[in-house]
Structure 1
């Protein structure tokens, strides 16, 4: 074992950063044995130096993150401050001054991962970011190393614990969205401003990273279709249960059937109860990977929190330090395929559409005609009378003056065709409103 310690600079000392520092200190001997050299926390950059940080010597604390990463004696910079700036500038400076980087910054990697990889390659240093997606779940490394010899066709996953907790609560208790969100906030699963989670921004950044690695293609955040889950209702869950499904906010990355393009999207979807992702409860994450040779794989575990995320950070730290000891670097960006990223309109899937319609003769025929005109084939159709008291399965033909809920489940069709269908349905005099549109996945 070499005796000169590898020096680590830590940027950020919040929930994750403080846990990284704690593990580095309490497990120092084990880490040294695994790496082949001791590791030393050489500096910690924070915004509020007066805050008490147990176990971290006061002389290591600094507010000058730029000076810390430019010191020249730093071997590895661990970035857990999040956000695009100043993280981007600090990581770039770290490479320029000879340090490798471990990051948990999904937003930055999704927006500017290609430039960061290029900077790492130019400096002959590593950029690792297992903690950027799905917390403690080993996912980045299996995709870019274990499956490097395989062809990945699809990555389908629950990558945000907050949204999964909310949807699981709605499914299990019949609670509405607002009630489930209030409980998630009270338990600490949701931030005071949950927009990044519930509107799908967090999951979209992760989808961009996963798609890029899985398909050897640069996929940026702007390439990911995003749809939040704030409009999901108890009625949607009731419909899902009638179909033997539940509802999850999914990140879906797919290679086209002909292999010529890829898509990445985030949106709520109904999935069959028989699908492994349907049983993922609470704030847990799970990612389902489909590959040619490996077949179907599922990665499951806690997707957020200080300890789980710190575990992923430390795993990367060990890998990067081993590379430094051996005079090597790990795998960098693999974007050789350079496949085009298709628009959401080209995605082909099934749909569940709920319409509020007038309960009078000819309505079903009008609706069916619109679907046919747009090339969207109907799989099942269910109409339930409201004012007239009809029951599930009733056609309501011949009764007038009431209102009915018409539920249509389609066969697979392009998203653009579905959008055109919905637009035409809204123009029908007999359609009072489109209550819900949800995709059906995992079949």
Structure 2
């Protein structure tokens, strides 16, 4: 039997990189993951890749990193004094004139597939105007301006105002577009903006109008499951949790459950398989509870009755409780910057205590800034290492980290000599401890 035709067919399929079991299509180094939540790079792919973007939050410090579309490295959206976009070499590519303040700003960067562009979205306080919050968008050409990067439009495109700081994204099925989803508690609605190679729609899909509770005094929380089919959001004013089904075809959200989670002062996160929702409670001044809700049923009472306290820990009184985030390792990570404390849910797809919640104390030597970690959201572009940076000095300093795509090293920019930079991964392992002006860290 002539095996040449079968060998040829197999070779063509292997070259195209089609993989139905991973629910991922890739070719020529592109990796279009269905759930764009965390930056993830499969070691089996070529170095030129387009990974999914992610949104990471810790202690009301927010940032986002996305891919350099069709190029190597990452793009970093900083919520510093001006808001800065940097390329993989750490070079600022945009930022001048952005009318955004830093108050509880949330950013998200998405690749524009098939181009050298990315779309950057941010909800933040505005420096002028009456609206307390806006959702702004930029399109940045990473290869413009002789490779230094350039804005494809003169300034931020304000898509909506009066928003609360929630933002998430998921791919539109059978498309290269994304839905950028915002839960607007102030105006009691959910908005979905479609963005892709054709640009960003300025008119959103509006749904769930009048359902969400209007809140003014606190920053609320919203998460999207990895499948892109369910939204959970919480009002911190009333401890009320809302669960929505999300249709990634038309961008609409429909409420199917709401209930009160007492003492729910912390954040929410879904398990990787979407069966469980985790909530962080603060029932006492020095105590934190981790609660698991079973979402197997659509009945609100059944979901409410499924509450299972899987972990209780004593914490320093008055610490800020962060929002948990699902990592590419399948664990849910809960770093707490101000009190050197972290918790991980190792097997969040399992019910009850089998989910294995562990916590530990991260020892940050020195006390100038009381161990404050100012930047806990930079991520090395092709490893599973999550990094945090602590600074030491008379004033807070934002230390930006970026990967060098050609050398595989992580760069720490020049800072004043008195700054003591300490880099930790989410398990508390110190991978860099340096005082000085420049450091290059090999995290391979």
Instruction: Report the TM-score, using the length of structure 1 for normalisation.
Output: 0.27
Instruction: Report the TM-score, using the length of structure 2 for normalisation.
Output: 0.27
Pick 1 or 2: higher relative contact order, CA cutoff 8 A, min separation 6: 1
Q: Which has a greater percent of helix?
A: 1
Q: Which has a greater percent of strand?
A: 2
The structure with more radius of gyration: 1
